[in-house]
Amino acid sequence: MITVSDLSVSYGDFRLQDINLELKQGRCLAVLGPSGAGKTLLLETVMGARKPERGTVFLDGREITSYPPESRKIAYIPQDLALFPHLSVRDNITFGLHSQGSSGSATQRLERIADMLGIKHLLSRRRVQTLSGGEKQRVAMARALIVEPRVLFLDEPLSALDASTTSDLLQSLREMRQEMSPTIFLVSHDLAEVCFLADEVAIMIDGRVAETGPHHQVIRSPRTVAAARFLNLRNILSISALPEPFAHIAMNAPTDCTYIAIRPEDLTITKSVDHAAGTVIVKDCVQMQSHAIVTLDAGGVALEAHVGADAAADLTAGATVFASVPEQSVLWLDD
């Protein structure tokens, strides 16, 4: 289990402030955020590469804040994988075993890990430079897992791969999780990666944790405007200036909420008169593969709705339609 308490660290002008996170044994925590949010700086600080100005890091109940990286019994897969170019595939994978003095059981562990990750046929390769992107990824994974780390740190692990290799590897990572149950600290800006791997999510914005919680909850129903914006939720509206069709929603707003978000798929559009709905004007309608994206003007406020391809057929620009949203679908957001 890893616990980060009140952690603050600076790098140049950038500062991570008051980070509190908890990752339980065998679980996967994904730190999600836009580029420049401080995710990698947080990762490096927790791994021991940077000294925090304040705060503590506990690993399995022991404070390790001032421990050097090599004393933490962790493993790391960076974004660029950083395989050692002067070593063979076999030596790359067993590198950590020799460092940690476990070379006695190296052959058995190597066989087991290579078998699990489907890279046995690569063990005789002398140059890692000749491996494909996916093969390199699996070798990096084997190198990290063979040392049986207390925590496995992953920094955007699949960002450099093409779509089909990414999907194969995500499946492999899930299978590896089921088989080995490692504790994983994942840093990513990719929602697919997070949905496949994470149990919990922390959204980081501008050096602070904006929101934490179980991944399905945070990703599906964020509670803060910053998290909602990062997750690319559409129709984020200030409660104090809701357009006419949704003005009634403000009456039931919780006291600590200042914004709402409406998912485009929750916005219902109808051409026939609906007294419970408000009138809006269609500005644009773009047909996608499975649905249409409709841009609406609600009293000067732009809204986005997703409707079925058939329903969108007669939505032309300039048409007046009726829009409504079920109140239980509204996301209440704190500024």
64 near another protein (CB under 8 A): no
60 forms part of the interface with another protein (CB under 8 A): no
Residue among 95 and 332 whose Cβ is closer to another protein: 95
Closer to another protein at the Cβ: 176 or 227? 176
CB nearer to another protein: give 21 or 147. 147
CA dist 308 and 312 (Å) reads 6
Asked if 58 and 3 touch (Cβ cutoff 8 Å), the reply is yes
**103 touching another protein, by CB under 8 A:** no
Decide: is 12 part of the binding site for another protein (CB under 8 A): no
Q: Is 252 helix (H, G, I), strand (E, B) or coil?
A: helix
80 binds another protein per the rule CB under 8 A? yes
Q: Which two tokens stand for residue 223?
A: 């509670």
Q: Quick one: which of 34, 78, 133, 213 contacts another protein (CB under 8 A)? A: 78
Q: Which stretch binds another protein (CB under 8 A): 15-23, 68-76, 103-111, 191-199?
A: 68-76
For another protein, the closer CB: 147 or 197: 147
Could you list the beta-strand ranges (E) of 108-256: 151-155, 184-188, 200-205, 208-214, 236-238
Whichever of 157 and 278 has its CB closer to another protein, that residue is: 157
Measured CA to CA, the distance from residue 28 to residue 44 in angstroms comes to 17
* Token couple for 317: 């620009």
The contact pattern for another protein, residues 139-178, with x = CB under 8 A and - = no contact, is ----xx--x-----x-------------------------
* Sheet (strand 2-11) strand order: 14-23, 2-11, 54-59, 62-63
CA pair distance 9, 150, nearest whole angstrom = 23
SS (H, E, C) 258-286: CEEECCHHHCEEECCCCCCCEEEEEEEEE
Which one, 87 or 123, has the nearer CB to another protein?
87
| Single residue of 16, 23, 75, 292 touching another protein by CB under 8 A | 75
CA atoms of 159 and 188, how far apart (whole Å): 9
Among 11, 58, 67, 95, binds another protein (CB under 8 A): 95
Judged by CB under 8 A, the stretch of 23-31, 72-80, 108-116, 220-228 that binds another protein is: 72-80
**Token pair belonging to 157:** 């692990």
Which of 29, 30, 37, 47 contacts another protein by CB under 8 A?
A: 47
3 state DSSP class of 29: strand
* Contact positions vs another protein (CB under 8 A): 47, 49, 68-70, 73-76, 78, 80, 82, 84-86, 95-96, 99-100, 143-144, 147, 153
